[in-house]
Amino acid sequence: MLEKISVIYSENKGGINGAIIGAVIAVLILVVGFFNTLFIAIFSVIGYYIGKKLSDDKEYIKKVLDKVLPPGTYR
């Protein structure tokens, strides 16, 4: 049984993931409202972007702080 589910999932990965994401978004809109769901989505994308940058470049936060603050003030 589990092997059949695994084969079906591996053959239809994109469609199944899309359906799950769509269902989660629909439930969020029904439960918390459109703008709250939009707020959650925006901050999720921002969090993903920052996390991706941090995993690619460990010095990313220091570089950003050097641009925003005078150099060396956070050390």
Q: pLDDT by residue (tens digit) across 26-44?
A: 999 999 999 999 999 999 9
The CA–CA distances, whole Å, from 66 to 20, 33, 35, 36, 57 equal 41, 38, 34, 33, 15
19, two tokens: 């359906």
**What pLDDT score does 73 carry?**
64
Burial of 31 (0-12, 13-18, 19+ CB in 10 A): exposed
Instruction: Name the pLDDT band for 59 (thresholds 50, 70, 90).
Output: confident
pTM: 0.63
Structure tokens at 71: 């150099």
Please tell me the distance from the alpha carbon of residue 11 to that of residue 31, in angstroms, as a whole number: 32
